Structure 1
């Protein structure tokens, strides 16, 4: 098989895996289902990824690296854009964290969620928080943002499903400022 075909096949497998894991979680997704969705033999998953767990890890590795870049007062707005309003079509319209949450029956997945959420989101918010209980307030804000994302994309509650960034911005800014003890922007110009 030519290198170009290998890369195209690997990309199709990752795309199929993202959708399956996002919709069904780790346990309910079989290697055969993913391979069938990609139109290839299941053996290629083992050839390219080694096992289902490595495929899952690679398929759910899309937490944005540049989330922390930019003005501090816009961090919450960037998180809102990423968690709630980004185009996650590759995951069936949901943030990759949702796929990981659907697979959280596994301790290693729960640990990965904890590490990624705490080191990416909570830690950055904690560094911005002023006053006592910074860690707790950062976790509360993180939980609120993740909850909004889940209610909007998974549950599709009516008001959140139709809301746009401008609708949420004043509420996000007010809650973030209240929990972090400092003014935060609810929107970014980006």
Structure 2
């Protein structure tokens, strides 16, 4: 806080003290934007966890808000409805590498390993598994899954790969995810990521060749 007894040079203005509260200047706006981003991220993390655990129908705005440590009205302020929140939770970047720089013979192995790393990587990044689980019973999730693979996988494979083959590559990768993470087929879950890559890459190679 500025000391009222301290004399300032003529023409000088008091310097705002952070303890006096937020300001309306650029710094205050930046702080507000960062706080808004953190709140939105916290809501999405909580929503993804609830949708993954309980499904769309059993997930409530109040439960999501409680896990995000905010009031339910804030969830509605950011997303407007549970349907909009669900849609936002399903926004996913597959983070595909630059496949144009990958040798054709290495492409199947790179693809399989990348998706295994995405599915089995950071536990906090569970949006892809949420989408996979939800797509089985929720039409919007199934539609979003189709959009993501059509918009990200096919373009990443480039013009060198026939679009029909790109679609089959997506089908194979989704089939692997379904049996390993949802159905949890023993013969698939028992394999290490290295073993899956070694054994499954030839199947993709057959489609791409």
Q: Which category describes the TM-score, using the shorter chain as reference length?
A: 0.7 to 0.9
Q: Choose the corresponding residue for 1:56, options 80, 86, 91.
A: 86
Whether 2:179 is the aligned partner of 1:151: answer yes
Distance in 2, Cα, partners of 1:152 & 1:178? 21
- Would the aligned equivalents of 2:51 and 2:130 in 1 still touch at CA under 8 Å? no
In the TM superposition, structure 1's runs of 4+ consecutive aligned residues that sit over 6 Å from their partners are none
Distance in 1, Cα, partners of 2:114 & 2:136? 19
Q: Which digits, 9 at most, give the CA deviation of each residue in 1:30-55, with x for residues without a partner? A: 21221122232211111122332332
Q: CA deviation at 1:6?
A: 4.1
Q: 2:201 matched to which residue of 1?
A: 173
TM normalised by structure 2 equals: 0.67
Q: 1:16 matched to which residue of 2?
A: 46
User: Runs of 5+ in structure 1 lacking a partner?
Assistant: 182-190
The structure-2 alpha-carbon separation of the partners of 1:143 and 1:24, relative to structure 1 and needing over 3 Å to count, comes to: farther
Q: 1:81 matched to which residue of 2?
A: 113
Q: 1:95 matched to which residue of 2?
A: 129
Whether 2:142 is the aligned partner of 1:114: answer no
- Would the aligned equivalents of 2:55 and 2:134 in 1 still touch at CA under 8 Å? yes
The structure-2 alpha-carbon separation of the partners of 1:103 and 1:6, relative to structure 1 and needing over 3 Å to count, comes to: farther
What is the RMSD of the two structures over their aligned residues, measured on CA atoms?
3.0
Distance in 1, Cα, partners of 2:96 & 2:128? 19
Q: Which digits, 9 at most, give the CA deviation of each residue in 1:106-159, with x for residues without a partner? A: 3xx443322211121245447443xxxx44433222212111112212222223
The structure-2 alpha-carbon separation of the partners of 1:7 and 1:123, relative to structure 1 and needing over 3 Å to count, comes to: closer
- Would the aligned equivalents of 2:47 and 2:64 in 1 still touch at CA under 8 Å? yes
Q: 1:186 matched to which residue of 2?
A: none
User: Runs of 5+ in structure 2 lacking a partner?
Assistant: 1-21, 23-30
Number of aligned residues: 175
Distance in 2, Cα, partners of 1:96 & 1:67? 22
Whether 2:99 is the aligned partner of 1:71: answer no
Distance in 1, Cα, partners of 2:81 & 2:102? 40
Higher Cα radius of gyration: 2
TM normalised by structure 1 equals: 0.73
